[in-house]
Amino acid sequence: MPDRTNSGTLFELAHSAAEDVFDADTSAGNADKVCAVALSIVSDQTVAYFSGAPGYTKLVERVGGNRKDAQSAITGAITRFLQSAAGGSFTPTQIRDRAYAEHGRGAMNCAEPKVWYHVTSVLRSDPGNWVMIPFNKLGGGGLVYNPPCRNCRRWVYGHFHDLSRVIALARGGAAALEP
């Protein structure tokens, strides 16, 4: 197993995972599509989801079982989390429609809550053992680091491993940590 405690190595592994996810993507193009990658610091596990409907659809598939039951469980758990103080104290409107980020989508539509759900509810793991590293795809096809948006910064750095914050500062600058 590779050394997953080095932030540079983690970034490279996350970048590679995001490339694989974007390469396999058959959903409609979206200039603001985010692929959030979480890497376990205690195993070789990786979890990656897109923002918006493509990520939600993939999460429902991975949860499995009855589709409506999976959707209800996912939406309910993420909503309760985002409404909690630990999840950012979002209002129902901020969760569904528009919260704080410049991209104008509700906090539910970000990629990071999907990763959080997978880590906590599917894998039953502590997100504190996972490093969150999000990416966007550039028009030319390359990937660029995309620190958690203003929606997700409200809670990501408090739940995922501290290297998430270290990488955000190193790769995205001080603005990547602003509320």
> So what's the pLDDT on residue 104?
76
CA separation for the pair 8, 10 (Å, rounded): 5
Count of positions (residues) in the chain: 179
Strand ranges (DSSP E) for 86-155?
130-137, 143-145
Lookup result for tokens 């809550």: 113
On whether the pTM is more than 0.75, the answer is yes
CA separation for the pair 160, 129 (Å, rounded): 7
In a domain, 58, yes or no: yes
Whether 108 and 69 have beta carbons less than 8 Å apart is answered as: no
> So what's the pLDDT on residue 10?
86
CA separation for the pair 5, 146 (Å, rounded): 21
In a domain, 133, yes or no: yes
CA separation for the pair 12, 64 (Å, rounded): 30
In a domain, 97, yes or no: yes
In a domain, 36, yes or no: yes
> So what's the pLDDT on residue 99?
85
In a domain, 1, yes or no: no
> So what's the pLDDT on residue 103?
76
Q: Which residues of 137-149 are buried (b: 16+ CB within 10 A; e: fewer)?
A: beeeeebebbbbb
CA separation for the pair 53, 57 (Å, rounded): 6
Tell me which residue range forms the domain holding 97.
Answer: 7-177
Whether 119 and 47 have beta carbons less than 8 Å apart is answered as: yes
In a domain, 55, yes or no: yes
Mean pLDDT by 10 residues, the chain (179 residues): 58 93 81 89 94 94 94 97 96 91 85 97 97 90 91 95 95 91
In a domain, 2, yes or no: no
Report CA-CA distances (Å) from 173 to 70, 145, 170, 176.
37, 11, 6, 6
Number of domains in the chain: 1
**Residue (of 163, 115, 145) closest to 4 by Cα position:** 163
CA separation for the pair 116, 152 (Å, rounded): 11
In a domain, 114, yes or no: yes
